[in-house]
Amino acid sequence: MAESSPIVGSRKVLASGCITTSAPDEKISFIVSDVNFEFSFTSNVLMPSSVGHTLVSSTHIVFALNNFDNALGATWSDVVGLMSGKKLHVAFVVHLIGDVKSGGRLLNYTISLEQ
């Protein structure tokens, strides 16, 4: 099997992919390089779109996404911590599939490490 090691700017891509949910799924989690990445979705029209991320432990990061309910997509990108002394970057785009109550979401993500 061929191995792929994409580089984006000065970052090595550790993982990238696409996950599709369906209602009533409000959480996604996956592990990359022994780190658990967890995404939870909420919708509250009284608040602006936002992303909060919490480092639960050195191997568990939780992202709370509020109002990522746009069929055209909503994006976010930032440094979320260090791995082996290098900056760990997370970037994602979320698309709503259908309506907020009965639809699903499409999460496209890239996790990369500064070289």
Check: CB of residue 114 under 8 Å from CB of residue 25.
no
Judge whether 94 lies within some domain. yes
Residue 57, exposed/middle/buried by CB under 10 A (0-12, 13-18, 19+)?
exposed
pLDDT of residue 113: 96
pLDDT over 90, % of the chain: 72
Residue with tokens 């930032």: 78
pLDDT over 70, % of the chain: 98
What's the rounded Cα separation, in Å, for the pair 53 and 56? 9
In this prediction the pTM is: 0.89
Q: Which domain covers residue 106, as residue numbers?
A: 7-114
Counting every residue written for the chain, the total comes to 115
Judge whether 84 lies within some domain. yes
pLDDT band, very low/low/confident/very high, at 2 (cuts 50, 70, 90): low
Judge whether 93 lies within some domain. yes
Judge whether 60 lies within some domain. yes
pLDDT of 89 higher than 90: yes
Count of structural domains, the chain: 1
Query: Tokens standing for 87?
Result: 């900056």
Judge whether 68 lies within some domain. yes
Judge whether 51 lies within some domain. yes
pLDDT of 79 higher than 80: yes
Judge whether 2 lies within some domain. no
